[in-house]
A and B are shown apart, each in its own frame.
Chain A
Amino acid sequence: MKLSRDLDYSSYLYTCNKCRSCIHPETHPSEVICPAFLYRGFITFSGCGKLYTAQGIIEEKISLYGEELGDVIYTCMNCHACVLNCPSALPIKEAIRDLRETFYEKGRRTKEMEKILTAFKKSGNPWGRTIKSEFSKEGEVEVFPGCSYLYLYPSTVKRFIERLKEKGILAGIIGDECCGAPLLEIGARKEFEKKAEKLIKEFTQNTVYFMDPHCLWAMKTYCEEKGMDLELKSAIELLKNFPEKEGEVLYHDSCKLGRFLGLYELPREVLKRRGVKIHEKELNRKIAICCGGNWGADDGLKRFLRRKHAEEIRKTEKPVVTSCPLCRLSFEKEKLKVVDIYEI
């Protein structure tokens, strides 16, 4: 059967050697960077396992109605640690995407998917609550905070705007609506596109700054696929000229900001420029481990990851800096001292 809308797997799908680099990074072979493998221990749940699953479906050895197919596909944080560490650059990213989209299109649902879809149905966002922005849309730069910031951390958005103003930058806050990133994560592509299309209409400028890297990734994906020439940027760039601040922090790499958008250094540069001393985690940048905050993944896996990080972070006795609201939420759930990069 055909699995993908734009990829001929036959060129690549038969060349995975099971070298396990998608599980253990070359530089740290004693570590496991695949959250799902860490949680379950079987290659089935790794990046290489996703390629095999894609092959099994294409060759019709695996039924799309298999009772545990959802478990195989969604016991995965979609963190792309496997994608970036595969030495053959095999299409794991596409396999994850296509497996999710096919699963969704066939009407299959996991518990997590149901939760997200119900929330969207109710309120147009994954939180299941109506979110109303109290901020002005008018400004010289356009900033999209995303529903996670607006719902969970409105005071962070408020302070960020105020401080931008202090620096002489008038920010207009666009969008009460969710961009649809959680829908893209779970494979509900059409529904995501509707949300993205709606949001794009709200943009009045060619350059838009995103506070949440999930939204930035989703909208970049949309614009690239539709051939739209918009300049979408991380709002962290606006922090560059903020005043100096003393302190020491532990930096946690957000998967979306780092592996997906390639912005490993931007938050570090901003922190350094502002005089904040950064402590690195042993596994950082390309081989950082996901916090367990992403949409659509198995709940048990998320809990497992949160606890793993909490244990590690507590040992450092340092506040942890995040550049993503979902990482922040994950760590806060574990009662860790978290600092949002927009709050420094």
Chain B
Amino acid sequence: MINKRIKLSKEEKERIKRELQKIVGEKNILHTPETVYPYSGTGMVYPKFLPDFVVLPSSVDEIQKIVKLANKYRIPITPSASATQEAGIYPFFGGIVLDLMRMDRILEIDVERGYAVLEPGVRIGDFALKLKEKGMRCTVGSFPPSISVLGNYTQVAVNSHRSSGILHDILGLEVVLPNGEIMRTGSMAFSHSIKNMTWHSYTNSFPDITSLFINSHGTLGVITKGAVRIYNLNEPVMPLAGFDSYRKSVEFMKRLTRANLCQHVCVWHWCLYTIIDHLERFGHGAPSEILVYDPWSPPDDRPYNVVVPSMSGEKEDMDAHEKVFERIAKECGGFVCTDYIKEKFPGAYKFFYDHYALHLPTNTFMGAYGEGFPMMGITFTDPVRVSDLEKWGLKFLRKSPLKVGLAYYSHSVDQTRCVFLRMTPFVVAESSKKERERAIKVRKRYMEIAMKKYGGVPIRPPYEENFGETLDMTGEYGEVLRKIKRTIDPLNIMNPGYSLMMYGKKLLKE
């Protein structure tokens, strides 16, 4: 079992390099520190661990051969798609990073069946435009157009607030397992024995293995194909509602989603839509007011929260939906503020319209100096306690010694049975590396309280020390997961860096 960084002799490295070259061709492999460095960690702020090789495979067959080679030499494989933001690369133990972005074919857009089959390198912006041509759409969020669709959809919280209102849109996956064999999930599991099988069903009368690969970050295999839900691009409407408290916004989200009035709905804190407006109009940076004012008091008549729905359907239906939207907003203590936002925050309105009505991703968010990503406290939260978390969270972060602008967004999941809350502090340009390190500590404390007091579920294991600590909090669930990992990947070949973070050192000891 791989439990420490591998050390390859010069001869071994040369031999493996030659074998990899035979598989993918000489041009599709990197092996020197200066060429592999950009693949050595998550974002720029986290520690770097140089892989021995970075390989660009072009087919499933090549991936199978690489996995078999890794088994032969017992070297780690770290699969990676676009690796944007949190979805990073963790080659703690060296070995091979598989850059899957070269496999970028949209294999099928099946409008009749309502799904598309993609390779991992397909980018969401490209995909959304191709679907638009066919009168269809996919689920998008605030992420940039260049990220991998499958990379994003298989990690439920990475750049979340998806416009389908559910956490992932995967119907089935094709995976190269750690032994090099291919497995398909959902209805396509039967493609093993039935020729004309399609990807139409996510279930197949057995336990759901697709979900095992959601959030698994390549620790159980290399995802080589995925069928994702696509939706009709219906007539959109986008009324906006303003509220003076988060509690009222959450109540509104609950009523809206449970009355089936929208596909998705998101709450935007005033600081954040102010920043978005700035980004959309000026490209990058952040306006000074979000640093000057406290996060509870907007500087003028702008609403504390703006609630943005994704509503689409037949025109008559939408006209009626808009009226009901207005009535429920009033009943929840809010008001319709569409014209106000259009006029005062045209950049924010454009951003909302691109995402919630047109379902086209933009890179607006990326202009905010890295979005303060090491500092974000993100949780799936109990809808009853989430308002208290917002109240406490802002106070806690405001007290912390960080030079950041505080803001958040929040959205309904599964008809507001769960509420996603993402505290999104924005780094100011002059933030130092040390300050970012301090921020990581602040986030850690935030997460501890968010979990213990407010029922917040973390969206991913922490990057910091005490690996496996979060999984240990789940008792037998964690034990079962470790057993599954050991059974599927007894040598711990698949992404051992992330495995260490997720399953903890216990995985390596037993």
Contacts and interface: CB of A to CB of B under 8 A. Distances in A.
B429 interface: yes
Interface stretch (A15-23, A135-143, A290-298, A336-344): A15-23
Contacts of A68: 32, 34-35
Interface size class of A (residues with CB under 8 A): 35 or more
18 contacts: A11-B430, A14-B436, A16-B43, A17-B85, A26-B125, A30-B129, A42-B54, A43-B38, A44-B37, A44-B39, A48-B38, A55-B37, A62-B37, A67-B32, A69-B34, A71-B35, A88-B366, A89-B284
Given A29-B145, A49-B38, A61-B48, A41 B28 contact: yes
B135 to A, nearest CB: 19
B34 to A, nearest CB: 4
A87 interface: yes
A12 B34 contact: no
A10 B430 CA distance: 8
Given A16-B44, A20-B123, 19 more contacts: A11-B430, A12-B429, A14-B43, A18-B85, A19-B147, A21-B366, A26-B362, A29-B125, A42-B54, A44-B37, A48-B38, A49-B38, A61-B50, A62-B33, A66-B33, A66-B34, A72-B34, A87-B284, A88-B366
Given A11-B431, A88-B367, A88-B369, A42 B126 contact: no
A5 to B, nearest CB: 20
Contacts of B330: none
Given A18-B43, A26-B145, A56 B123 contact: no
Nearest to B430: A11
Interface string A236-262: 000000000000000000000000000
Contacts, number: 154
Interface string B161-190: 000000000000000000000000000000
B30 interface: yes
Contacts of A44: 30, 35-39, 54
Contacts of B85: 17-19
The A interface, classified by DSSP as helix, strand, loop or mixed, is loop
A22 to B, nearest CB: 9
A10 to B, nearest CB: 6
B99 interface: yes
B370 interface: yes
B144 interface: yes
Contact of A29 (B126, B284, B366): B126
Contacts of A66: 32-34
A51 interface: yes
A66 B31 CA distance: 11
B432 interface: yes
Interface string A36-67: 00001111100011011101100101110011
Given A15-B44, A26-B363, A52-B38, A89 B283 contact: yes
Contact of B366 (A17, A23, A55): A17
A13 interface: yes
B312 interface: no
Nearest to A26: B363
A24 interface: yes
A24 B121 CA distance: 13
Contact of B37 (A12, A20, A53, A87): A53
Given A41-B28, A43-B39, A87 B82 contact: no
B27 interface: yes
Interface string B16-60: 000000000001101011111111100111001010001010000
Contacts of B54: 42, 44
Given A30-B126, A87-B283, A89-B283, A23 B146 contact: yes
Nearest to B99: A42
B371 interface: yes
A88 B279 CA distance: 9
B373 to A, nearest CB: 7
B422 to A, nearest CB: 15
A87 B368 CA distance: 8
Contacts of B145: 21, 24, 26, 29
Contacts of B130: 30
A49 B54 CA distance: 14
Interface string B428-457: 011111001000000000000000000000
A23 to B, nearest CB: 7
Given A29-B126, A56-B34, A69-B34, A17 B371 contact: yes
Given A17-B84, A24-B125, A61 B33 contact: yes
Q: Which 9 A-B pairs have the closest CB atoms?
A: A29-B125, A15-B370, A20-B146, A52-B38, A66-B34, A30-B126, A29-B145, A87-B366, A87-B367
